[in-house]
């Protein structure tokens, strides 16, 4: 069973940057399609950006285009989310998720516990 553990969240001022990490075990990130999601208080969880198992990136959410970048380190079996030019509206609980390369579903099978990002004005 694949397990995902996020880290790197915290409190940052608007305009600042954070890098989130998602460490995988029980599977390799190069064999998974990975995604970052977030959930703001009182809102539904939303897709942020993803990476296919072959390394291609998905289109990110309009709200983060040009500011957030997904990457991965196969040697560390870790996926990252670099977040720049952060805004207060980026505040939320950030999750990484994964699904097997063979999956044709939009549903992600594996989820981390989330890491909190808070952006102050």
Tell me the pLDDT band of 101, cut-offs 50, 70 and 90. confident
Helix/strand/coil (H, E, C) string of 4-19? EEEECCEEEECCCCEE
Lowest mean pLDDT among 52-66, 67-81, 88-102: 52-66
Express each pLDDT in 41-58 by its tens digit: 999 999 999 999 888 888
Asked whether the predicted pLDDT for residue 72 surpasses 90, the reply is yes
Q: Per-residue b/e over 42-64, b at no fewer than 16 CB within 10 Å? A: eeeeebbbbbebeeeeeebeeeb
């Amino acid at each position: 069973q694949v397990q995902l553990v996020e880290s790197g969240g915290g409190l940052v001022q608007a305009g600042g940057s954070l890098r989130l990490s998602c460490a995988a075990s029980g599977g390799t990130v190069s064999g998974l399609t990975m995604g970052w999601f977030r959930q703001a208080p009182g809102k539904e969880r939303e897709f942020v950006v993803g990476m296919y198992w072959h390394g291609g990136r998905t289109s990110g959410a309009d709200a983060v285009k040009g500011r957030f970048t997904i990457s991965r380190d196969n040697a560390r079996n870790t996926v990252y989310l670099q977040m720049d030019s952060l805004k207060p509206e980026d505040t939320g609980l950030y999750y990484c998720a994964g699904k097997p390369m063979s999956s044709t579903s939009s549903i992600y099978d594996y989820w981390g516990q989330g890491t909190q990002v808070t952006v102050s004005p």
